[in-house]
Structure 1
Amino acid sequence: MVNPAWLRSFRALAAEGTFTRAAESLELTQAAVSQHIRQLELQYGPLLIRRPRRVELTPAGEALLAYCDEVERAGRCLASRLADADALQGAVSIVTPGSVGLSIYPKLLEIQRRTPGLVIRHRFAPDEEVLAAVLDNRYEMGVVSRRPDDERIAVQPFCEEALELVVPAGAAVNGWEDLVRLGFIDHPDGQAMATRLMSRWYPGKRSMADVPVTGFTNQIGLILEPVSRGLGFSVVPRHARQAFLRPESIRVLEECTPVVDALWLIHRAEWALSRRAQYVIDELHRDLVKP
């Protein structure tokens, strides 16, 4: 096993760039840091290129820095596991896509209000960033719309999310031609969502490419704002529609069976969710429907 003090010195040197600043950050002498690096280089070969202003890592140094990161993540995991005696105390972190995040964030706040010992940290992110955040151990758990195929990730059903076609409350919509007349309020996933839903509702009609785009936003919480003002229709996940603050100004069309997606809860497969995290998930499931 590598001496932890040597690794701390190496990590500080990689971060600070000079032996002097590394020693100051660790409250050690420069000689002590130099000795630690010397011991590592005796074991692993050249780790640094010593430049006048800043050291540069060799490929071996980059590999050792990655190992340092792994050791730190393992240490955080151990601390979390050892501190997991009380399910109602400590930090819980979760990262989700915007639509379901809009729905669960108020519920997370209510859970924390009822359970003052918990500190809940939530972040909005697309699927790719959710997966990366969980893999990097920056968040204990995440929610994704596409089930990942990665042996490092444990997956379980979280809830269902239906796509909905939403029009202005006062709009007369009796078919495809009325939607074309209204125009489409687009968003980053808008065309894909609309194509999936419209192909089921209006088979044989022309594609979404024939529907004029009358607006666009990349903010999930604002997609229905132009719809509420009569500027077009949109297709959004149900959680986004349910979170809209002026439901009286919009209307959901219910032409046929909706398109329903499963959402998945993910966490690192190497260890189970903490009792705190499982408590939060159990509380959320009181209001969310599992697939």
Structure 2
Amino acid sequence: MFNAHYFRTFITLVETGSFTRTARRLEMTQPGVSQHVRKLEGYLDKTLIERKGKSFSLTESGRRAYDYALKLFAEHEQFRHALDDDSIDSGECRLASPGSVGLMLYPFILGQQQMHPNLTVSYSFAFNHEIVGDLLDGRYDVGIVTEAVKHPDLECSVWHQEPLCLVVPADFTGNTLAELMGLGFINYYDGINHANHLLRANFPDEFRSMSHFRHQGFTNEVSMVLDAVARGLGFTVVSRLVLETSPWQRQVRALALPTTVDEVLYVLRRRDATLPKRYEKLLNGFKAQRLQETML
């Protein structure tokens, strides 16, 4: 009959190389250690060690049994931690967010996963309406969205705020609304909405609507929108998260504006679900890191 204690005794014996040290470590008698090994050999119907006086060597079957036992207990520990909803450093995390958030949040979570090998992450880059559907269908536990959501089965709460940046080509010398209109606008999924808020706050007497701007293009991938700006094709309005993670930072710049407008980010979750504590640690950890970075 399979007995995990026999495998544990065998692992310890191989690691210590001594029946005496194995007995001491496991708080057993030496005859007890020998009995576990014999029972395991009987279960596997193979000789695992060749005794040479007080020492021993592993047979080929013994080496394979040792490798299997290590894998067996490693998988057992991973499984046990995955069942522990109260564990803050282990288990599965399933999240989704727009690309503008995920460009920095996902690398942060990967860093946490590196520090905690028992933590696994499934992360989806998606639009707001897709995230809502995925949460309702149970594909993800937490969603980060850029707009407040009202749904009877979902709980929506303010999580974090990031300033919006009006991004122009690095060599753009203008600063008036008319000069921006002459430059043209590069759009993306949230582009018009963000531009409306930021331009209305900073040009209240002049700005009417983004429909008055010449639209120079659209991309559904926010991480690529600054490529178009870097090429001088127009301006755009993005979260600071996007600007700070962009490979085109040297080819663009954020236009200085008198009034700051933040993009508000919301956490979505199902009302009937109890979230493991690890989600709280991840989300709070990211906010604390952003606060520290912006204070430097």
Is the TM-score greater than 0.5? yes
Is the 8 Å Cα contact of residues 81 and 274 (structure 1) preserved in structure 2? no
Residue by residue over 1:31-59, the C-alpha shift from the partner in whole angstroms, topping out at 9 and shown as x without a partner, is: xxxxxxxxxxxxxxxxxxxxxxxxxxxxx
**Separation in 1, partners of 2:87, 2:233:** 51
- Structural mapping, 1:229-268, within 5 Å: 229-268=231-270
**Separation in 2, partners of 1:80, 1:127:** 31
Is the 8 Å Cα contact of residues 190 and 235 (structure 1) preserved in structure 2? yes
- Number of the residue aligned with 1:131: 132
- Number of the residue aligned with 1:222: 224
CA RMSD of aligned residues (A): 2.1
Q: Greater shift after overlay, 255-264 or 226-235? A: 255-264
Following superposition, the deviation at residue 165 of structure 1 comes to: 0.7
Following superposition, the deviation at residue 81 of structure 1 comes to: 9.0
Give the TM-score, by structure 2 length: 0.66
- Number of the residue aligned with 2:104: 103
**Separation in 1, partners of 2:145, 2:81:** 24
Q: Secondary structure, in 3 states, of the residue corresponding to 2:121?
A: strand
* Count of residues in correspondence between the two structures: 211
**Separation in 2, partners of 1:177, 1:271:** 50
Structure 1 stretches of at least 4 aligned residues deviating more than 4 Å after TM superposition? 79-82
- Number of the residue aligned with 2:39: none
Is the 8 Å Cα contact of residues 92 and 277 (structure 1) preserved in structure 2? yes
**Separation in 2, partners of 1:209, 1:155:** 31
Q: Secondary structure, in 3 states, of the residue corresponding to 2:289?
A: coil
Following superposition, the deviation at residue 85 of structure 1 comes to: 4.7
- Structural mapping, 1:75-154, within 5 Å: 82-154=83-155
Q: Secondary structure, in 3 states, of the residue corresponding to 1:93?
A: strand
Is the 8 Å Cα contact of residues 81 and 87 (structure 2) preserved in structure 1? no
Residue by residue over 1:116-141, the C-alpha shift from the partner in whole angstroms, topping out at 9 and shown as x without a partner, is: 11111110111111122112211111
Give the TM-score, by structure 1 length: 0.67
Is the 8 Å Cα contact of residues 221 and 244 (structure 1) preserved in structure 2? yes
Following superposition, the deviation at residue 109 of structure 1 comes to: 1.2
Is the 8 Å Cα contact of residues 172 and 178 (structure 1) preserved in structure 2? no
Is the 8 Å Cα contact of residues 100 and 242 (structure 2) preserved in structure 1? yes
CA separation of 1:234 and 1:171: change in aligned 2, threshold 3 A = same
**Separation in 2, partners of 1:87, 1:143:** 20
Q: Secondary structure, in 3 states, of the residue corresponding to 1:110?
A: helix
Larger Cα-atom Rg: 2
Is the 8 Å Cα contact of residues 111 and 283 (structure 1) preserved in structure 2? no
Following superposition, the deviation at residue 82 of structure 1 comes to: 4.8
- Number of the residue aligned with 2:294: none
- Structural mapping, 1:1-291, within 5 Å: 82-205=83-206, 206-288=208-290
Residue by residue over 1:70-120, the C-alpha shift from the partner in whole angstroms, topping out at 9 and shown as x without a partner, is: xxxxxxxxx999532533222111001121111211111111111111111
Structure 2 unmatched ranges of 5 or more: 1-79, 292-296
Q: Secondary structure, in 3 states, of the residue corresponding to 1:132?
A: helix
**Separation in 2, partners of 1:144, 1:120:** 18
Following superposition, the deviation at residue 173 of structure 1 comes to: 1.4
**Separation in 2, partners of 1:103, 1:81:** 25
Residue by residue over 1:158-193, the C-alpha shift from the partner in whole angstroms, topping out at 9 and shown as x without a partner, is: 210322210011110121222122111122322222
Q: Secondary structure, in 3 states, of the residue corresponding to 1:122?
A: strand
Percent of matched pairs sharing the same residue: 32
